Amino acid sequence: MRKLKLPALISIIGLMGSVVFTLYGILGTSQPTESTVRLTTDPPLSQLVPFEAEALTNRPPVRLTLQAVDATGQPLQNARIHLRILTPRSNPWFTTDFPIVEGTELLDLEALAPQGELQIQQTLPIRGTYQLWVQVSPVVANQFNPIQKTLTFSVSENWVKYQNLGLLAAILLVVGLGGGWVIGGPQETQPGEIAPQRVRLLLSGATIVAIAALLAVNLSAEIAQSHLSMPMSHMAKHEPKFSNSGVVQSQGLELRLSGDVRATVGTEASLQAEVINLKTGQPEPGVVFDLQATQLEKDWIAFAATLPAAKGQLAWKQEFFDGAPHSVEITVFPQPGIGRQFTPFQVAREIEVEGVAPPIQRRLIVLAYFTSFVILGLWLGLRLRSWRTSSIRLG
C-alpha cells in the first residue's frame, strides 16, 4: 500500500498544478485591456514655468505631445484626436498674472493623427493645474474603440516671483516697524495738538502713500483697459508685414484663412483654414497645414502646430491671453506621395485682441495684502518700543 501512495500523491500534485496553470492562462488572457493616451512635454513637467511678460528673452512655447496607443503600447493608426486645454481654476485670494484667463478654455482643436500622435506648441499663461480633455476616435469605423481621457499637469510659479514678493514684504515690514518704533516712543504734545508732531507727520505720510498706491493701482488698470479697448491703438505702433485679406492664390490653388478678426482676452476666437482647387471649386485633399500664432509687439509664439488635413479643411478655437495684436500664419504643403504635389505657400492674418482689466475685487485684495504687511510691522514696532521702555524703567 505504501508503494502506491507516493505515485498517487505525485499524480495528484501534477494534476492540481496543471489545473492551476490552465486557470491562470484563461484568466490572464481574459483580463480586460484598454487603449490609452500618453502625454509628454518638452521641457519636462518639472521644468515648466508660466509665461513671463517682463522677461528680457522670450521662452519658446511648451511642446505637448499626445500619443494614442493600444493595450500593447503600439500607436493607434488612422486616428482622429480632439483636444481641449483648460486653464487652472480661479482663486481670488491667490491671483495670477492673467486673472481673466483663469478657468477658461485655451484651445479647442480636432485633427487627424495618422500615426496616433498629435503634437502642438502652446505658451502656458499662468501657474496651476491644467486639464487636457482628449478624445480619440478611428477614422475608419470600428477600427478601434474610442478613447476619452482627462489628463492633468501642473505648472509651478517662477521662483523669481516669490523672491520679489519676499523682498517687497520685507520692505513694507521695515517701513511699518520704523513707524511703530517712532509712534511708541516718548512724545510731547503741545497745547492744542491732538498728537505729537512726529506722530502727525508719520500718519500724514502713511496716509498719502496709501492713497497714492490705491490710485496708482486702480488708475493704471483703468488706463490700460481703455488703451487696450481702442482697436486702432496697436495699429499705430506697427505696420502689417503681410496682406490682411486672408486669401492667397498660387499654382491653381486658393488658401483661405477666415474667422474672427477681433478677440477678447478670456474668450476664444474661431478660425478656419481651407485649400480650394480653383478648377473644381472643391477643397483640395491630402494637404498639411503649418499653423503659427505670434504676438506682434514682442514677437513671441503663442501657439504652433503642423496638422494634416485629408479633406483640405481645418477649424479650431484659440484664446489669445495677451491683450495685443497677434498674427496667425498658415503655410500649406502637400502630403508626400498623396494627391497633387505643389510648392508650399503661405497666408497670414492679423487679429486685434482686446485686453480686460483685472476685477476691482482682485486689486483690492492685493492692496489689502500689502497693507497687512505694514500693519504687522507697525504692531511689531510698537511692541518692541514698549518692551524697550519697560526694560529701561525696570533697570
Report percent pLDDT > 70 for the chain.
Answer: 75
Instruction: Give the three cell numbers for residue 87.
Output: 486653464
Burial of 66 (0-12, 13-18, 19+ CB in 10 A): buried
Phi, psi torsion values for 99, nearest 5 degrees: -65, -25
pLDDT at 115 over 80: yes
CB 378, CB 179: distance < 8 Å = yes
Query: pLDDT digit string (tens) for 38-49?
Result: 999 999 998 998
Region 359-379: mean pLDDT is 83
**Strand order across the 128-138 sheet:** 147-155, 128-138, 79-86, 105-113, 313-319, 268-277, 253-259, 247-250
How many CB atoms within 10 Å of residue 353?
23
Instruction: Give the three cell numbers for residue 324.
Output: 495685443
CA nearest neighbour of 107 among 307, 304, 351, 306: 304
Region 332-339: mean pLDDT is 85
CB 332, CB 345: distance < 8 Å = yes
pLDDT at 2 over 70: no
pLDDT at 180 over 80: no
Cα torsion for 41, 42, 45, 46, to the nearest 10°? 170
How many residues comprise the chain? 395
Query: pLDDT digit string (tens) for 134-169?
Result: 999 999 888 889 999 999 999 998 887 788 788 888
Phi, psi torsion values for 320, nearest 5 degrees: -100, 105
CA nearest neighbour of 351 among 255, 249, 234: 234
Cα(175)–Cα(171) distance, integer angstroms: 6
Average pLDDT of the chain is 80
Q: What is the pLDDT of residue 197?
A: 58
Cα(265)–Cα(321) distance, integer angstroms: 5
**pTM for the full model?**
0.77
pLDDT at 16 over 60: no
CA nearest neighbour of 385 among 186, 170, 189: 186
